[in-house]
Amino acid sequence: MGEEVGARTFSREDRARYREKVRRCLDVFAEMLRESRFDVERPMTGLEIELNLVDDDSRPTMRNADVLAAVADPSFQTELGQFNVEINVAPRRLVGTGTAEFESHVRASLNAAEEKARTVDAHMVMIGILPTLEPGHLTAGALSANPRYALLNEQIFAARGEDLRIAISGVERLATTADTITPEAACTSTQFHLQVSPADFAGYWNAAQAIAGVQVALGANSPLFFGRELWRETRVPLFQQATDTRSEEIKAQGVRPRVWFGERWITSVFDLFEENVRYFPALLPVCDPEDPAETLAAGGVPRLAELRLHNGTIYRWNRPVYDVWKGRPHLRVENRVLPAGPTVVDTIANGAFYFGLVRALAESDRPLWSQMSFSAAEENFTSGARHGIDAQVYWPGLGYLPATELVLRRLLPLAHQGLDRWGVAPAERDRLLGIIEQRCLTGRNGASWQVTTLHRLESADHLDRPEALREVVRQYVELMHSNLPVHEWPVTD
């Protein structure tokens, strides 16, 4: 959800003071890296899932405050739109049956929350973009009450000086405008967190970037927006455009977007934080009273509040995270590539594939990023988002090939090795990677199921598009609760 910020306005002095403070935080962060003041023992993994709320007619319902009050579980939190909530899952180690524990905990939490949400006429849906969203759902009135979101909205539009233009060309075309950032709320994701030592961070981040295209190809689950069939993972271009602070002229000058894949492989975690400070002006210039240099000199652990807040307003697909837990600082790679859903078991399988693969690649004797240009990784990401499970991607030594073939031939064995190094139980490893294998063999993921089902409802059942979209969501929710992997979901071409 990001750092909490209260309602306020910002002066020129606020911005100057914040710039100075965030640079001081960066200097202190560099000193902490030099002195190795980070928790590197027993690395943990974490998980966040953003959810949509719908009514009995499969339409979005603006009830997150009511739902959160009914659920009364601190692991569930508000999100940008009133039809969104998020679950933050307690961190765990992967060793042994850690993945199974993630799965059982998430299923139990979601089932309990769904039961309570029904008491306020709402239902939870794990999906990348809710197919029944319409322009009337994404207005300023749909923003959640948290002051942070109103401030973000105000600051993004102050930077732009004009309305957002959203233009996505996929199977069908969409062109629309928005006068708020609420279209961002349509993009609901799964975020995997991996605690990494400073020495290993660059390798893990580079590995995560290198496989992002394959991840999104296999996990695509957002093919429908505003009644149009667009990219298989429409969440990617929509998120990029819905948070863009640049006018058309600023884009033409080559100014970097805040939703950013990046532009180079890194050698240190410092590279990412330094780029964030150097390239991006503050959106929320709120200063904390702590002097980080004094705290560090006194033997304490600085919060680096300004650096963390600034970092939270730059939306890298693999984001570096500095955090403090129980008085000890640590670093994480936050993988933000994947959409939510379709099921809990699909989510955990995606996580197993990611955690295993990045470890194998990060610990490789010959790093993949020494054989592959960064632009090739970005091209793979765009191809995976546009074409989903049918995407063609580039891989060193293999050239261009179907993403599914790459996974079956090369990446699943590497993920197998990586999970072994994490100490994951063999039965868990085989169960979860078997789901990824079958998804590749059947060519079915959440996006392909949604589109095939939509086409069948329109052609065979003669439903119009709005009615067909509601039926897609109704069937999706029923199958989501079954926890059957999506490659086993029934569909008739």
DSSP states along 169-181? ESSSEEEEEESSS
- pLDDT, tens digit, 9 for 90 and up, residues 323-357: 999 899 999 999 999 999 999 999 999 999 999 99
Residues 339, 190 contacting (CB under 8 angstroms): yes
Q: Which of 4-8, 316-320, 410-414 has the lowest mean pLDDT?
A: 4-8
As a whole-number percent, the residues of the chain with pLDDT over 90 amount to 93
Place of tokens 């139980």: 425
Residues 339, 188 contacting (CB under 8 angstroms): yes
Residue 5 has a pLDDT of: 60
Question: What residue type is assigned to position 251 of the chain?
Answer: K
Residues 393, 406 contacting (CB under 8 angstroms): yes
Q: Is the predicted pLDDT of residue 143 greater than 80, yes or no?
A: yes
Residue 3 has a pLDDT of: 56
Residue 1 has a pLDDT of: 42
Residues 367, 208 contacting (CB under 8 angstroms): no
pTM of the model: 0.96
Residue 170 has a pLDDT of: 98
Q: Around Cβ 251, how many Cβ atoms within 10 Å?
A: 12
Residues 276, 321 contacting (CB under 8 angstroms): no
- pLDDT, tens digit, 9 for 90 and up, residues 23-44: 999 999 999 999 988 988 888 9
- pLDDT, tens digit, 9 for 90 and up, residues 206-246: 999 999 999 999 999 999 999 999 999 999 999 999 999 99
Q: CA 277 to CA 302: how far, in whole Å?
A: 18
Residues 218, 369 contacting (CB under 8 angstroms): no
pLDDT category at 148 given cuts 50, 70, 90 is confident
Average pLDDT over residues 266-292: 96
3-state SS of 410-439 is HHHHHHHHHHHHHCECHHHHHHHHHHHHHH
Residues 102, 348 contacting (CB under 8 angstroms): yes
Residue 491 has a pLDDT of: 86
Q: Around Cβ 30, how many Cβ atoms within 10 Å?
A: 14
Q: Residue 352 to residues 24, 59, 361, 454: CA-CA distances in angstroms?
A: 38, 32, 14, 30
Q: Is the predicted pLDDT of residue 202 greater than 60, yes or no?
A: yes
Show the CA angle centred on residue 281, arms to residues 275 and 282, nearest 5°.
Answer: 110
Place of tokens 């993920």: 415
Q: Is 402 helix (H, G, I), strand (E, B) or coil?
A: strand
- pLDDT, tens digit, 9 for 90 and up, residues 290-302: 999 999 999 999 9
Average pLDDT over residues 9-35: 94
